[in-house]
Copies of this chain bind each other. A is one copy, B any other.
Amino acid sequence: MLFKLAVDCIILAYDPLDNHLKVLLIQRENEPAKGHWALPGGFVDQSEDFAATAARKLRQETGVTVSYLEQVRAYALTDPTAGQRLASVSYYALLDLAHYAPATDRSHLAQWVPLVHLPTLPFDHGLKVQDAWQRLQEAARNQPVPFHLLPPKFPLNQLQRFYEALYQVPLDNRNFRKWVKGLPYIEPLEEVETNVSHRPSRLYHFKAAVYATFRQAAQLTPY
């Protein structure tokens, strides 16, 4: 029994303008579901592994190069075209929105959609987005997820709003800032925001090297 193997990409970004986590959808150019908004993706080519396929499709279909790509899981297609079977492996990709600069001739074929307002998608793409979101939530407990989605220099409130968007809970501002102060790998800079019509916020940045040693030392409670 032979399979065609597809890769689906759940490209995620955080939009600081409306504080939403968003997924990039493209308008399908081919049947089935031609013209519908769906996840970018495609078939695995000769001598590529899955992650390479995902990265290639991202470039081709969205003009995007991502810093972070993780497998979510494999899916057996529920409705196989008779005779030949299809399976797919989905990956989520994390992106700083500021770095999103698609080829202009394609930009009208792509849109960012908030996860909380996800429309009905063809195939099982809706499920795949939900699975990816859940995996991202889990990953963020053990890995420095936020810093792939935020710009290199960010104010603390932006980090807080990201967490609120990721887990869909409100966080207490004072307690959140207290928590961050205890993290050696999030460092305040001398710099502040400019050109805002309110008190400018101080910028922080993530120190990957410090994080690495810190994580190693941390022992999670087992139960």
Contacts and interface: CB of A to CB of B under 8 A. Distances in A.
Interface stretch (A41-49, A93-101, A114-122): A41-49
Given A167-B222, A179-B223, A1 B44 contact: yes
A222 B171 contact: yes
Interface residues of A, number: 32
Given A1-B45, A44-B3, A73 B74 contact: yes
Contacts of A154: none
Interface string A48-73: 01100000000000000000000101
A169 interface: yes
A140 B71 CA distance: 20
Interface in A160-181: 163, 166-167, 169, 171, 176, 179
Interface in A174-193: 176, 179
A208 interface: no
Nearest to A142: B138
16 contacts: A1-B5, A2-B2, A2-B3, A3-B5, A44-B76, A49-B76, A50-B76, A50-B87, A71-B73, A73-B73, A74-B89, A163-B222, A166-B222, A167-B222, A176-B223, A179-B223
